[in-house]
Each structure stands twice: as structure tokens, then as C-alpha cells.
Structure 1
Amino acid sequence: MNVIIYHNPACGTSRNTLAMIRNAGIEPTVIEYVNTPPSRTELMKMIADAGLTVRQALREKDTPYVELGLGNPDLSDDQLLDAMLAQPILINRPFVITPLGTRLSRPSELVLEILPETHKGAFTKEDGEKVLDAEGKRIG
């Protein structure tokens, strides 16, 4: 299965998502989007395919969101996209693309919706939360 993750290794949610993909027996294409951002067309497609608005794909925490005035409700989608492409840290993460769909995997277990049920066993997130049982079945 061809899987792409727009990843930030400094982000726990992104690391958990990547680990869940690998727990399904898949080695994804990992794109560290802060260094290699998607094109405008790719970003717009990811956002649309995930069923999000541009504003929902905008990251506020630990970014220059406030300093750039991005909370202004009068800003257009084009203006928000311009900011995201100029400073990719503003793109929320991690976006995952599979043949089964596209998700902004926040929380990380949302990635399970677009992966085959081929998990290799239990999975526990970095914070200790159990997501998959010993048989690879989703908990909760």
C-alpha cells in the first residue's frame, strides 16, 4: 500500500501516527514538510480530500499564527494558504494519504480509518495510551 505522511519528527502526534502506520506493516513515504513543503495544489488537495477547511488545516500552537494576525476572520483561504506555504510550520500535522483516504491525524489514531486492518499487535502511544490490543484491534 502506498502511504505518504507529511511528518514533523519533533511532534509526538506525528511520531505516533508514523509508528501506527509501521505497526500495520507499511513503510510509508515520509515527507518532512517543514523542510519540503507541499505545493499549493498538493496542499489544497490534501485539505479538501481530508474534508477540512483551510482554516482547520492551519496550526496555531508553537507557530507564528498570532504574530502574523492569522486569527483575523476576514482573511481569505488564499491568504491563509500563502502564509502556510511561506511558513510551513503553520500546516497542521500530520497529514496522511493512502488509497483509502486522506486524514489530518489529530489525534494520531485517526490514521487507523485509512489503513488496512493488518496491525502486527498492540500499540501504545508515547503518552502511555493504549490504542491497539495484542491482536491489533482498536481499543475504545
Structure 2
Amino acid sequence: MTQTNATIAKKARSRAEADFATWLMMAKLGSFDDLPPNAQDFLNRYRARFGEMSEAKSKTIAVNEIYLTYYKEMGGTGAAPEPEPRPSAAGGDNVVKFQKPRPPPKAAAASSTSRAKRPMPAFLIFAAMVAVIAAYKFLVK
């Protein structure tokens, strides 16, 4: 099955973004030496550029470099197509604040059915037993 250059480009772009994020996190956690040599090279170039320009711009350039490398490795021919720009987050972070899910609204019918299914109180059971025993003794004599 042959893939088109657009398909290869899309896969290469996704892989480049994921790998760069992984490598960057590993480097921040102190595992830079455990990364493969090509990853170390990309991160060293990223760090050098980071001193000269903004973080967002240096990340974009680093991901593009990785993308071009992956595009060629995956069998892309010719110049790598420019990917569509992704919408950037307002805060520059993709973390979403956790919100506790809201409980479902309780309907009036649900509360009345729950009362109907309520277990019989112990006092009622005791009173019924006393009545049965009294009736038995009264009827036996």
C-alpha cells in the first residue's frame, strides 16, 4: 500500500510534535543523557535558538526540523508540504482545568418512587408480629 505525500506529511508532523514534547519533558526531568543521539542534537539546537528568540518560535522551528527529517525517513518524495497551522491555545498550554461533573438533576417522580421502595421500619415489623401472636393466642383459646 503506497501512501501519498500528504498522508506521510501528516503522520510525520504528528510524530514530530509528539516526539519533541516527549524529549523536552525527559530533558526537563533530567534524562537528557538517556535520549537517542538525534534527539539530543535537536534539543541542543532548540536550546541554542531559545537564547536568541522566544520559546514558541524556537519550538516551532525545532518541530519543523524534526518533521522534515521524519518526512524523508517515512518515504516522502520532493519537498515536504507545509502543514496547516494549528490553532494555538490562548495560554500557550494545553492543560485543561479539572471540573467535577455536575450531578444529574433529581426529578420529583424519582424521589416519590424512592419513598415507595423504602424498607419497612423495624417498629412496624415488631408491631405486626405482636398483633399476629395476639391474634393467634386469642383464636386458639
Pairwise same-fold verdict (TM > 0.5): no
More strand by share: 1
Q: TM-score range by the shorter chain?
A: under 0.3
TM-score when scaled to structure 2? 0.26
Higher gyration radius (CA): 2
More helix by share: 2
